Every structure is written in C-alpha cells, then in structure tokens.
Amino acid sequence: MPPSPGRPGSAQPGRRNRRRRRRLRTVEETSAGGLAIDQAGSHAVIIGRLDRRRRLLWSLPKGHIEPGESPEETAVREVAEETGIIARVTQPIGAIDYWFVADNRRVHKTVHHFLLEAVGGALSDEDVEVTEVAWVPLGELDEVLAYADERRLVRHAVALLGSATGMAEPGAGTE
C-alpha cells in the first residue's frame, strides 16, 4: 500500500524532498616531513602505522605544522618525534596533496616533503602514532612504501642524490 500524502517521511509528487544532505565543511591542513637518509646515503628511516584493518603500512614520517613553525622545522621535529633520528634538511623534494573525510569534515591536506640527512639519534618507536620504525635500503623503498605519491617523491629524491654524487639510481640496470 502506498504511503499516505501527509505521512512523515513520504515524498509528495511535484515537491522537492525537504530533507537535504548536510554539506561537509571543507578544511585545509598542512603538514611536513620527509625522507631522512643515513650518512652513508644508503638507507632511509620510515615509519609503520596500523590501518583500520590492522595492516602495517609503511610511510615517510610527517606531521602537522605547529603555529610559528616553518615546514622545514616541522620536518626535522616530526622525523625526531616519530623515529628518534635527529636530522637536518638538505633540500625540498616536493609536496603531496590529497582529500579525505574525517570527523564530518572534508579535509584537503598538503604535505611538504624534504630530503634530510641523519646526524644523530637512535631508532625509537616511542611515538604513540607509530607502530614500528626501520632503516630500509633506498633501493627497496619503492617496494615497501604504501603510498604511490610517496614512492614517486622518493624516486625523485634518489635521482637528486644520484645527480649530486654522480651515482646511478638504485636498481638502475646497465646495458
């Protein structure tokens, strides 16, 4: 039996549905982090976090820029907080931006990435947001990192390192 015209929740022909979807508020977020490489130039430190399905996803350390902090300062701080490694910025390697929905908000996030050189510290996963930390050979990062945009940035950084030292990129074959 069709619903009666005056019944709550029923749409009447020719009338717009009064129940509209609530629009999500859009917010901008900015973070910074990067690729911290050991002094030998052969390994990078990465972090592992568990996703909602409890899978360990490896990524570059990064975090929110605090008020009054530059993106470079944030990258150094986040690498130290999330990995225990003290590093210094050597150069920018690019930015990634993406969208996601959280807490009834649509978030447009931009993450500035830098190439960093490790100058001290020791691996530590003390940060509550981090499950594991590891030094990984540069040539294996493409297989280990979970996110395509980060893999692209790492390839760019490795190319920059190779051109600065005259070395070939890891995994590049000779013909």
How confident is the model over 1-50, as pLDDT tens digits? 555 555 555 555 555 555 556 789 999 999 999 999 999 999 999 999 99
CA distances from 89 to 76, 103, 116 (A): 7, 33, 4
Whether 33 and 73 have beta carbons less than 8 Å apart is answered as: no
Of 78, 81, 56, the residue nearest 145 (C-alpha): 56
How far is 16 from 147, CA to CA, in rounded Å?
A: 43
How far from chain centre, in Å, is Cα 93?
13
How far is 74 from 104, CA to CA, in rounded Å?
A: 27
Share of the chain above pLDDT 90, in %: 74
At 68, the pLDDT band (50, 70, 90 cuts) reads very high
Range of the domain at 157: 30-165
Instruction: Name the pTM for this structure.
Output: 0.79
Residue 117 in domain:
yes
Question: What would the pLDDT profile of 129-148 be if each residue is shown by its tens digit?
Answer: 899 999 999 999 999 999 99
Residue 127 in domain:
yes
Of 75, 45, 42, the residue nearest 165 (C-alpha): 42
How far from chain centre, in Å, is Cα 103?
19
CATH number for the domain spanning 95: value is: 3.90.79.10
State residue 9's pLDDT score.
54
Q: Per DSSP, what are the bridge partners of residue 32?
A: 63, 112
CA distances from 78 to 5, 31, 68, 75, 136 (A): 59, 10, 15, 5, 18
Residue 55 in domain:
yes
- Mean pLDDT score of the chain: 87
Residue 69 in domain:
yes
| Total of domains in the chain | 1
Residue 8 in domain:
no
State residue 125's pLDDT score.
84
